[in-house]
Structure 1
Amino acid sequence: MLTTATQLSGRTLFFYILCAAYALVSSLALVSSPLRPPSSSISLTNTHTLQSADSIVRALVFGLHKLVFLLRPKVLVLVLLDLPGLLFFSTYTLLVLFWAEIYHQARSLPTDKLKIVYISINGALYFIQICIWIYLWIDDNTVVIFIGKIFIAVVSFMAALGFLLYGGRLFIMLKHFPIESRGRRKKLHEVGSVTAICFTCFLIRCVMGFLSAFDSDASLDVFYHPLLDLIYYLVVEVLPSALVLYILRKLSPRRISAQYHPIQ
């Protein structure tokens, strides 16, 4: 009895730590957004908004975990656990969109289809995930749960690939700007740091997603593996979010300076 009580107490503590951590990230996102220059990209402004929304949902889920895990049907619990992950994907792929727009503008490439691609990809992902939830509502099938875990892993891989592709391209492009370009060194640091952070966190999410699908001991079920989840969410969401918010807190507007000529 004492051991069980201790385990429950430790589990509750872990969940409340995550609740507090996400609440802090949400507050940072809300505070950071008004501090941005008025001419900042809408994509970056929306990134802060989505980041705050995602963190609020996570904070509520972990803060009210005793009620959340009692919800029936079970698919409702999965919705509350998986939806923030999709919001996290949408949040940071907005940053990829922002970088893609910069890169295409500097290369004199069309940018009008980038937002369409972003909306299409996100729309398709949410549609597929909703279909999985609906099927689980009708039939709580372990095979579909397995497919859902693989789906989340694939989504994370896509995000990691996006950061590697456009973060890497933008970093290389910035290195070719004239050495006297204002803020060049700072932008190199920002793009390089954010690319490394986001690529790493999404790659970890991808690997852990696949592991949890094939190995029950690596399951990310927050009820049965609270310590694993504490470490997991701190490493792949809380810490990366806080670092990115800090790095981008004074990011200059998207408009490229007149001295930056398109790279031929």
Structure 2
Amino acid sequence: MRGVARRVTADLTARRHLDAYVVSALALVFAIVTVVSDAISVDLRWAVALAGLGVLVYRTTAPKPDVTIDELLQDRQGFEATPIAKRLRTAREVWLFAPTGINFLSEENLAALRTGALNRPDGSLRIVVLDPANEAAMNLAVRQLDDSITYPLQEFGACHQQVVRRLEAIARNWPKAGTFEYRYLDYNPGFSLVAIDPTGKDGRVIVEFHGFRNEATSSRMHFELEASDSRRWFLYWTNQFEQMWAAARTA
């Protein structure tokens, strides 16, 4: 009850759903009065009932409220509601750019990709990571991703080497019904990007910004965008990946 009271108080303070609360209050008052007496006419009772029905029908057709900025922009805890591995199990096409991609290419996520996109004849997995042969890009990435973290848990060079070994193993040793490609980029644009079914009607992109002087990698800001949210910006971010893919060298 306390939670309900807090929610109602917050709604009234912010002037949200006032129509529903007014009709609900009238219906409650009329119900109580009807129980103790017959002072309220039948016509008035019907008027309140029809008003409540009208509000209910209206609210089912009204547009959903805009997402707040705090709901749009989150840290990595935002993935907990729907883990990446769960999404990957049903994905047909997956794109990834990240300096190392060590967190995305975890054993759990790779298992989902193995039984998902890589196990489908029409499946596709494309991955871009930083170029290990480009010393300048690798050294700068250490400054961006290691030296700017207050509480680091991973070391860029070791993570990158581990990812390269995993990519090589997938390419050489994994049986695949779908297609798998990976490339190396000589420049870190300051964000990581995951696209799930980007060419489908239910496509989505997840972008994480590396930032400067984060407490930890988990505190970085990210947002998730569906194709239906904004066609303009969805195409912008999928085109960002396509541009990086075209600029990257084949491993």
Q: Could you say which TM-score interval applies, normalised by the shorter chain?
A: under 0.3
The structure whose Rg is larger is 2
Higher strand share: 2
Higher relative contact order (CA 8 A, sep 6+): 1
Higher helix share: 1
